[in-house]
Amino acid sequence: MAVVTMFPAVLLLAAVTLCYALYCQCTRQKPAAPLPPGPKPLPILGNVANLTSAKEPWLLAERWAKRYGPITYLHVVGQGLVFLNTPEVALDLLDKRGAIYSDKPHLVMVGELCGCENMVAFTPYGDQSRRQRRLMQAAFGSSSIKHYQPLLQLETKPFLRGLLEDPFKFQDHLRRYAGGLTLLVVYGHHVKSTDDAFLKLADECVNILANRIAAGGGIWPVDVFPALKHLPDWFPGAGFKRNAAIWKKKMQVFVDEPYAFVLNERRKGTAKASFVSTVLDDMDGEEKGLDTHQDFDLRWTANSMYAASIDTTITTLSHFILAMVKHPLVLKRAQAEIDAVVGQNRLPVFEDRPSLPYCNAVFTESLRWGVPVPLSLPHRLTEDDIYDGAFIPKGSLVFANIWSILRDETLFPNAHAFNPDRYLVPAPDEETERRRDPRSYVFGFGRRRCPGMHLVESSAWLLMVSMIATLDIGKALDEYGIEIEPEVVFDNAIFRMPRPFKLAVRPRSEAVLRLLSEESLYV
């Protein structure tokens, strides 16, 4: 009998929410200009049907861009969704009008229920977000990144050895590389095995964030109907609340325990140089005592750095590996360049980068061709705006359609092809050079541009050229010796990360095996 009485309450809650949405639509003031074009919405529900069927939402957004032009507008129960489809529009709004386009949406599930509202990617625009970005910029700006280069080199050989042992698990090896590197750089913790407690904790939490909390694009029913957060945990359909409570506790442990490790190491006088220890030293913090804001900002910013870098690094390098499997002549040409500049008796280092123009072009094309986050992370508009005669309502969620931008045939002829040579021809002017550099887009825009981009790029570049220098990467062979075409499938609605595919990896020479057997020292 108790179960029977629950369902009218659910229906009543849904009805009240829908009535409220209808009321908002009816009482909303007439806009000063027409909305941007987009798919025709249903009454009240809006474009729900347009958004629920897309496995790769960036392909859907690309079709809209071709049909509706530079800006596409949709809404879901009155919540505006805006897609910016060209470089000009994205830079005009997210960069030049950043004062009103730099907020982040208030996501009930991710923020309130799962406790991630203080991560840099989800922090509302304001004092806290500015404090966090200043911390990250000071530690990971372009002028500071050289201090971390020896740490980046430390993790390279273990990755290469693992890839040779089991090529099919290349993403596991990439995760171990990126995770171990970030724990070292952010917290000064040296991961020595896959059983490392911090590495396992970090892997679990990043997996929860990327594949559970943010599954399906990160928008949950409770974000559309916030009243659902008041459902009792035992209520039918409230499983999301029970899961959120578990995930929130786990995420808090991930924030607190590595940070406590650094504080303890500093007390003992054995702390390694890292983001956290450097900031504490600069503040002369622990001896005098951090104030509440400093302590809070530092522990959440450090955690955010880990979560922000892992999937971007794995996605970019997965696409590089896929490109080498599909384009063996590109790999051979890059190997010839490294052999001429570096030789075969050592791994490439950052000082070699200016002398490796083709390898740099391969890396740049991997960023463009792979597009790690095709629709970016949404911004939130804090004021009504008019752009090119179109009205964009306050509160709209704004997505940079990076996929369409980096497939623009006017900037990148034959855009769907992997072609590093496109970057070896000088651009006619500085503006064109900037517009065709994928770094102008893949790391975000304006005041929400990824402050850890230099660390992500440096670590990914170093691992890429190390793979080129030491490994032959190609298609796997079946039992009859016939090449197997890689099967490429995308499951994640935010990160364009392919499922693992079959490939063959071999050392280029016996000298490579000897080189990789030498251990790097960390003092």
Give, in order, the Cα–Cα distances in Å from 268 to each of 261, 271, 288: 11, 8, 16
Is residue 450 annotated as involved in ligand binding? yes
Amino acid at site 311:
D
Other C-beta atoms lying within 10 Å of the C-beta of residue 282: 11
Residue with tokens 């050895």: 161
Could you give the CA distance from residue 451 to residue 433 in angstroms, rounded to a whole number?
22
Could you give the CA distance from residue 47 to residue 240 in angstroms, rounded to a whole number?
24
The DSSP secondary structure of 142-210, one letter per residue, reads: TTTGGGGHHHHHHTHHHHHHHHHH-GGGHHHHHHHHHHHHHHHHHH-----STT-HHHHHHHHHHHHII
Give, in order, the Cα–Cα distances in Å from 3 to each of 10, 16, 242, 413: 11, 21, 18, 61
Give, in order, the Cα–Cα distances in Å from 195 to each of 176, 199, 247, 274: 11, 7, 21, 22
The 3-class secondary structure across 398-417, one letter per residue, is EEECHHHHCCCCCCCCCCCC
Q: Where are the alpha helices (DSSP H) in 447-519?
A: 453-470, 510-517
Could you give the CA distance from residue 523 to residue 355 in angstroms, rounded to a whole number?
29
Mark the binding-site residues for heme, compressed into ranges.
450
Mark the binding-site residues, compressed into ranges.
450
